[in-house]
Structure 1
Amino acid sequence: MIEIKKRPKDFIVIEEASLETDENGTHFLYLLTKKNLTTRELASFLGFSYAGLKDKTAITVQHVTFPEFKGNHIRENLKDGTYFLKFIGKIKKKIKIGHLKGNRFYIKLHGQKVKPADYFINFYGIQRLKGNIDKGKKLFKKLMEKPRKLKWRENFLIDAFLSFLWNETLNLYLSETVEGTFKTHEDFRFFIPSEPFEKIREKVPRFWTIAGHKKDYRESWSFYKKILLKEGISTDDFIKTLKNLRIKGDFRKTYLPVEAKIENDFISFSLPKGAYATVYLIFCG
């Protein structure tokens, strides 16, 4: 995998969104540029709404909204990093999670030899999984015995566990269906098909089920059974607990095409919301 994030300026993320300004709007739209700061912490500090979380060890650009006007330009150096706000205009509704098309990435290669992949498997990234899976699984098993309403952090841990199951079931399916090999990155395994994109589209379903009590699992169910057995969870208890937690489930795109280019020692590419640049880079190798 490409080595990244040595310095914030080595990893640049620019949010892609379609937002129409309206002079009669009641929310104030700003473009936020930040370095070495998390979106969540900065939002808590400044009081803005945002569409997606952006990396800390990076230079990131994203749209945010405030309930009141903050000025045309604001720049501040904090203890850990810097942020800059530029007023764009008024907007009818405040930005919420998911109100974006995707992100454009610019990643410094530092002379590394890279062959951009024209597609990748849309696995959940290590940022979502690391340090959260075991906690999420432990919490899920407790909820199997005694269901209750969850706090935000607990919902996040359950989501991380379900993301892990999505990855593992798809890993198993791919390893039995197409040619390829596993690559390990930070103790997580990802199956990397060696077949061209045309063959993947012929052999692999376009969507893979995110676990929930109302979703059609289609061909994924037999693989969920195998992984759940390995994790010590019965399928009946699994579905019952999802129902108690009101987790309906969803579908996630299994693979994504990518157009990437290398210029001035940077690789650049765009990904839709919910996709992970770090996963794509594993496929570039």
Structure 2
Amino acid sequence: MDLEKFIKRRPADFIVEEVLPFKPQEKGKYKLYELKKSNLSTLQVVRFIASLLKIKPSEIGFAGLKDKIAVTTQYITLPESVNFLENISYLYHGGRWIKADKINFENQTGFSMKFTGFTQTPLSLGDNLGNRFIIKIDNIDKDRRKVFYSNLEVVKKFGCANYFGEQRFGSVKGRNDFIFLYLLKGNIEKAMKIYFSIKGNIKNWGKWEALYRDLKGKLEQYERDLILGLKRGLPPEKAVRILPKNIRLMFNFAFQSYMWNEYLRKYIEAKYPFKRVSFIHNWKLSFYTEVYDIEYLKNLQIPYTGKEFLIEDKTLKEIIKRTLEEHSITEDLFDKELIGIKVLTDGLRNAVFFPEEFKIVQKTKNTITVKFFLPAGSYATILLRNLLF
């Protein structure tokens, strides 16, 4: 059963508010804006603001990518030298941006920005403390309600497995169709074909004018530029670099996030009683139902590759080694330079998280509305999959 049956029926049913670890200052090198949006991705808004201000998207700082089908509040930074209004709102309708006096976030697609002060440094990914959520869960029958309350007791006691959520996998079309793996094999044209197939029909691949017409209404400016570059005879190896760096990095992040999820899934299955829950692309996630060493588990951090961070847990070490081998990832690929980015870099991520300030704020016969806080990098959709299945 899919999670979409229960959540995000309307953007206003999924409210996210970012929490920063600092307060705005009266002076600084960067302007800090509060950005509130509905039914738009963070990158959609960032790219539009960049085009409006005639700056590079990379000059706009933000701490995290917020859900698209939601009403979200987060913060962005702009260089102090950029001249921009203190308050601005835009609707998005029919593929066009329309300036507005205000946005009705419950039933309109759009965003508003409000100047809040200054910072000395730009925001970058992970700079937030976390996010507050208010989520309405729909279609809750009597049996599902029992499952929810039973699972909630487990989460209160043992926390929740800290898997990456579906937002990390927007560039993955199918179960094993990672753009990153085609790039790693040097098949850059195949990688680009998959990328553009997510946008629409690519039957005219190679007939660049026809492909441009087929996809034009669905493309960002840099994607149009890429197709026009191919039309001019630009080789795929150079054309792919027209994509912004953050998009190219997402190809790497999607694969590394999948691998990390696999490490955690296999680790849970090796050590604890567990339940399997369906995820996107017919992948599975496993959630423990009992933990005998919770103090150890809640302090466990799992690396992405194990190159920089040594793995002392023998079970985990063997799982990571075996999973890398299954996907033909060898140590010589760690930190490799690929399409202008460094890939397969190491890092640490907590194996579990504990939702804070969890409250059921409203109940009806068929709905439960919950409120909670999650630390930066943890996903509400993962918590909800654990609670509902």
Q: Same fold (TM over 0.5)?
A: yes
Q: Which residue of 1 aligns with 2:164?
A: 124
Pick from 260, 267, 270: which aligns with 1:173?
267
Matched, 1:38 2:36: no
* TM-score, length basis structure 1: 0.86
Contact 1:5/1:58, CA 8 A, preserved across alignment? yes
> What is the deviation of 1:239?
0.8
Aligned partners of 1:204 and 1:238: how far apart in 2? 29
Contact 1:175/1:191, CA 8 A, preserved across alignment? yes
Contact 2:33/2:117, CA 8 A, preserved across alignment? yes
Q: Which residue of 1 aligns with 2:353?
A: 256
Aligned partners of 2:114 and 2:375: how far apart in 1? 24
Residue 55 to residue 92, structure 1, CA distance change in 2 (3 Å): same
Matched, 1:269 2:372: yes
Q: How many residues align?
A: 276
The structure that has the greater radius of gyration is: 2
Q: Amino acid of the residue matched to residue 320 of structure 2? A: Y
Residue 13 to residue 242, structure 1, CA distance change in 2 (3 Å): same
Aligned partners of 1:261 and 1:11: how far apart in 2? 15
Aligned partners of 2:297 and 2:378: how far apart in 1? 21
Q: Secondary structure at the match of 1:274?
A: coil
Aligned partners of 2:270 and 2:47: how far apart in 1? 46
Contact 1:25/1:90, CA 8 A, preserved across alignment? yes
Q: Amino acid of the residue matched to residue 84 of structure 2? A: K
> What is the deviation of 1:284?
0.8
5 Å-filtered alignment, 1:190-269, equals 190-196=285-291, 199-202=293-296, 206-211=300-305, 213-219=307-313, 220-231=316-327, 233=328, 238-245=330-337, 247-259=344-356, 260-264=358-362, 265-269=368-372
Aligned partners of 2:88 and 2:73: how far apart in 1? 14
Q: Which residue of 1 aligns with 2:27?
A: 24
> What is the deviation of 1:103?
0.7
Q: What per-residue deviation string (whole Å, max 9, x for no partner) do you get for residues 111-141 of structure 1?
A: 6223233210001112213552622233334
Q: What per-residue deviation string (whole Å, max 9, x for no partner) do you get for residues 21-68 of structure 1?
A: 332323222211111111112111113432111111110001122233
Contact 1:178/1:203, CA 8 A, preserved across alignment? no
Aligned partners of 1:77 and 1:131: how far apart in 2? 26
Aligned partners of 2:181 and 2:294: how far apart in 1? 31
Pick from 65, 76, 85: which aligns with 1:64?
76
Aligned partners of 1:122 and 1:26: how far apart in 2? 35
Mean Cα deviation higher: 45-54 or 57-66: 45-54
Mean Cα deviation higher: 265-274 or 219-228: 219-228
Matched, 1:137 2:181: yes
Q: Which residue of 1 aligns with 2:222?
A: none
Aligned partners of 1:273 and 1:250: how far apart in 2? 15
Contact 2:361/2:370, CA 8 A, preserved across alignment? yes
Q: In structure 1, list runs of 5 or more residues that go unmatched.
A: none
Q: Secondary structure at the match of 1:173?
A: helix
> What is the deviation of 1:170?
1.8
Q: Secondary structure at the match of 1:218?
A: coil
Identical columns (%) = 26
5 Å-filtered alignment, 1:41-190, equals 41-47=44-50, 48-67=60-79, 68-79=82-93, 81-110=109-138, 112=140, 113=145, 114-115=148-149, 116=152, 117-118=155-156, 119-129=159-169, 131-132=171-172, 134-142=178-186, 151=241, 152=245, 153-186=247-280, 187-190=282-285
Contact 2:67/2:167, CA 8 A, preserved across alignment? no
Instruction: Give the number of the structure with larger relative contact order, counting CA–CA contacts within 8 Å between residues 6 or more apart.
Output: 1
Q: Amino acid of the residue matched to residue 74 of structure 2? A: Q
Mean Cα deviation higher: 43-52 or 242-251: 242-251
Aligned-CA RMSD value: 2.6
Aligned partners of 1:207 and 1:35: how far apart in 2? 34
Mean Cα deviation higher: 62-71 or 129-138: 129-138
Aligned partners of 1:204 and 1:37: how far apart in 2? 34
Contact 1:25/1:91, CA 8 A, preserved across alignment? yes
Residue 202 to residue 89, structure 1, CA distance change in 2 (3 Å): closer
Residue 192 to residue 44, structure 1, CA distance change in 2 (3 Å): same
Q: Amino acid of the residue matched to residue 41 of structure 1? A: Q
Contact 2:10/2:69, CA 8 A, preserved across alignment? yes
Structure (1 or 2) with the greater helix fraction: 2
Q: In structure 2, list runs of 5 or more residues that go unmatched.
A: 51-59, 96-108, 188-236, 363-367
Contact 2:27/2:117, CA 8 A, preserved across alignment? no
Q: Which residue of 1 aligns with 2:382?
A: 279
Pick from 11, 14, 39: which aligns with 1:11?
14
Q: Amino acid of the residue matched to residue 166 of structure 2? A: I
